[in-house]
Amino acid sequence: MIRAIFFDFYSVWTPDKFGYYLANAQLNGPEVYKEMYDLMEKYYHGQVDLSIVAETFQSRLGHPDITVGTLTLSKDSVSPEINNFMRGLHGHFVKVGVFANLGLQETQLLNDFNAENQLFETIASPLSLKTTQTLLSQEVFAGALQAIGEPPESTLIVSGNPYTLAFARNFGINTLQFEGLPKLEQTLAQILSSDIPPTT
């Protein structure tokens, strides 16, 4: 039986702008991609701020349109439908968590949002868990499970990222591919009303 669900922040809550720009960086060659990837890891560990990310993306990717403003998120970017959906999960006595690479601004946004809405039990990221490991590491997954207080077999992770899902499966965590909110609502209703774990 599923008793805890982690939602990937960038799939379910908001589009992954950083992932989009990283994908673009691959077109500029492996050296530029490695530089951008390493920069983002520093951002996700709280070592550089958003202005450095924006400036580097501008210069290295040739995108003067990338600014701190275009990378900054606000609580208004979370749709009321997501808010209501998350709140409804508590009626099933399911613990809810966020699992993702988060910088300081995203962590603060989620903390403020949760203080106002009380939607989830924990935020799991390398930054929040105070680890030097990357998101897809045993240490982060173990820390996420400990923070939400459930073993892998009763935990589900919902993400649109195939690498996150594959790593979670290797860790024994149930997974569900995110394919939009309507389908997610339908599939989760079936999962939560049965004792059969998801197979995707």
* Terminal alpha carbon distance of the chain: 16
| Cβ pair 181, 82 in contact under 8 A | yes
Domains in the chain: boundaries: 4-14+77-192, 17-71
pLDDT of residue 39: 96
Mean per-residue pLDDT over the chain, rounded:
90
Residues 6 or more apart in contact with residue 36 via CB below 8 angstroms:
21, 22, 25, 56, 57, 60, 61
pLDDT of residue 24: 87
pLDDT at 50 over 90: yes
Give the residue-averaged pLDDT of 97-107. Answer: 93
Report the CATH fold assignment for 4-14+77-192. Rossmann fold (3.40.50)
Among 25-29, 87-91, 113-117, 184-188, the least confident range: 87-91
pLDDT of residue 195: 61
Place of tokens 């968590």: 97
pTM: 0.89
pLDDT at 35 over 90: yes
